[in-house]
Structure 1
């Protein structure tokens, strides 16, 4: 039977989904854009838009709560948008950059990631920190701060409060490293290359590592940046390994989830690393990814901030902060030892 005159057809599932997602997603993107604009306007590189977006999201959640109209968009920002950002991040690392480090420095990058993550999980258990939170702090310390934390939570499946606390801990420890590393490098009399490798191998966020390395001069900035990119490259294998380990722990505890989740976004990240290394990706696409990835990550973290329960966050106590400090000291000491062995 034909539809009555004047009656409109029902919207397609795609349009219905887009309408549901739009309010919350636009809110998160606006918060992210505002945080990036603030960083650009002030010229202070240490004002990480991801951290600013987290603080703004927590403020919005505390002030207005989480109306039903924004919940679908919040959920979209936390998962699909975040995974797309991690995939696009692959365009910013090439195999040629990694090869330029040399085998010794590459081995150091692998060693600090491979040792710091399990050390943090082990120490978290000793300190009584919840496993998911310890995994997030360990991943953020070992690899690349906020990006690693939100990526790792796709397999760790911690609560929003776990992600928020881990981001706060990593930001605090990374900022302290940004301030202290140049002073320690001078005190230790390190060469430019050695200091850059140390900063790149030990400091959490990319902007923090590059900023600290640049304080040692041009040679330090170059070696520190490439070393940090080597750790970013290890994001995908680390997330895959963490997913396998979490599933193994579930099996040992007799829990229902016994199959390791497949982090397809991590394989997408690796695929874009390989594709970008061929030289076939236009430079404009790479530059576009440098603009889009911070916006998408900041929007995802803003969504996490809006979803955060402050009471649950306060209930975590000080032990996770102690864990983050200990993990930071561990990776700094291990990286310094490795740089010394490299000569």
Structure 2
């Protein structure tokens, strides 16, 4: 009930002046962090917070699959799909490498890499199901992708003329590089209806990459856990079964035509459940521990943002 109330508050706050640019998920984690650090999380709510972090989160990610069809992914084209996949892989690899250079914790680095290269806050919390980072790491990663994704949302619409991008190329660029779905929609439609629609489809295609990334990270974590099997209290890495549910929903959505009003309701429900999960994350976040992480993870997030923006632009210019 507590995480649901905070998620509802996140939806309501979007109507406040200046807050409409933020997704309910971002607002929910902000409210959760505020509550935890001002008044504290009630002991009676702890079990519910854990439930939201685990079961509610996984169910929401499964529902996320209903926002994409195989046909939409095919509409991006072979070259467009190749640009999206290559951008994702190279951004993840660059962020992981640069995180080691900066000395950022491996788990936090993976969260920033996933959030930047795939789909923002949703990717951060999905990736954490296999990386097992601290809640402060998750909050830090969400903050990074929110700040830099919001920057892109305002900067990108100023650049199509300067960069000589047509509607198709601009839409692909936004979908391949901006962090959150809502941020992509806001930026892409500034380039016109065609750019907006293609940017949205490109972004949803990129969201589908969440499944293989989480599976691969889960396998790596499992191998690392087996390698440390002699360590006391060593827990085995979880198998991300919910990702297969996510893929199954993409197939279902491709085979069955879901009425527009029903799909709109599912999108809202999915966002609400993800907001509950992030509210729970906020209720577990200690700001003192967040500040203790310093500036290096923030610099990593900024470097990842610059990389994905420039690398994807170069690919788009090559195939446009």
Task: Answer yes or no: same fold by TM over 0.5.
Answer: yes
CA RMSD of aligned residues (A): 1.8
CA contact (8 A) 1:275 1:281 kept: no
For residues 98-129 of structure 1, give each alpha carbon's deviation from its aligned partner in whole angstroms, at most 9, with x where no partner exists: 11111110111111111111221111011010
For residues 6-50 of structure 1, give each alpha carbon's deviation from its aligned partner in whole angstroms, at most 9, with x where no partner exists: xxxxxxxxxxxxxxxxxxxx0110111121122256696412111
Closer, same or farther: CA 32–258 of 1 in aligned 2, 3 Å: closer
1:47 and 1:271 map into 2 onto residues whose CA distance is: 29
Does 1:315 pair with 2:285? no
SS at structure 2 position matched to 1:143: helix
Does 1:275 pair with 2:282? no
Closer, same or farther: CA 318–43 of 1 in aligned 2, 3 Å: closer
Written as runs of structure 1 = structure 2, the 5 A alignment for 1:159-178 is 159-178=134-153
Q: 1:314 deviation in Å?
A: 0.7
CA contact (8 A) 2:3 2:280 kept: yes
Does 1:137 pair with 2:116? no
**What is the TM-score with the length of structure 1 in the denominator?**
0.88
Residue number in structure 2 paired with 1:90: 65
Q: 1:285 deviation in Å?
A: 4.1
Residue number in structure 1 paired with 2:270: 293
Closer, same or farther: CA 63–32 of 1 in aligned 2, 3 Å: same
**What is the TM-score with the length of structure 2 in the denominator?**
0.94
Residue number in structure 2 paired with 1:228: 203
2:303 and 2:51 map into 1 onto residues whose CA distance is: 34
Q: 1:280 deviation in Å?
A: 5.2
Closer, same or farther: CA 259–304 of 1 in aligned 2, 3 Å: closer
Question: Which is higher, the Rg of structure 1 or of structure 2?
Answer: 1
2:62 and 2:33 map into 1 onto residues whose CA distance is: 26
SS at structure 1 position matched to 2:2: helix
For residues 242-277 of structure 1, give each alpha carbon's deviation from its aligned partner in whole angstroms, at most 9, with x where no partner exists: 112233445566775596531011110000000110
1:116 and 1:241 map into 2 onto residues whose CA distance is: 16
Residue number in structure 2 paired with 1:337: 314
2:227 and 2:289 map into 1 onto residues whose CA distance is: 28
Does 1:305 pair with 2:282? yes
CA contact (8 A) 2:13 2:19 kept: no
For residues 280-325 of structure 1, give each alpha carbon's deviation from its aligned partner in whole angstroms, at most 9, with x where no partner exists: 5455542321111111111111111111111111110000000001
Deviates more, 1:113-122 or 1:32-41: 32-41
Q: 1:333 deviation in Å?
A: 1.2
2:235 and 2:41 map into 1 onto residues whose CA distance is: 33
2:33 and 2:235 map into 1 onto residues whose CA distance is: 34
2:181 maps to which of 195, 198, 206: 206
Aligned length: 318
1:330 and 1:289 map into 2 onto residues whose CA distance is: 33
Closer, same or farther: CA 255–103 of 1 in aligned 2, 3 Å: farther
CA contact (8 A) 1:86 1:151 kept: yes
Deviates more, 1:88-97 or 1:57-66: 57-66
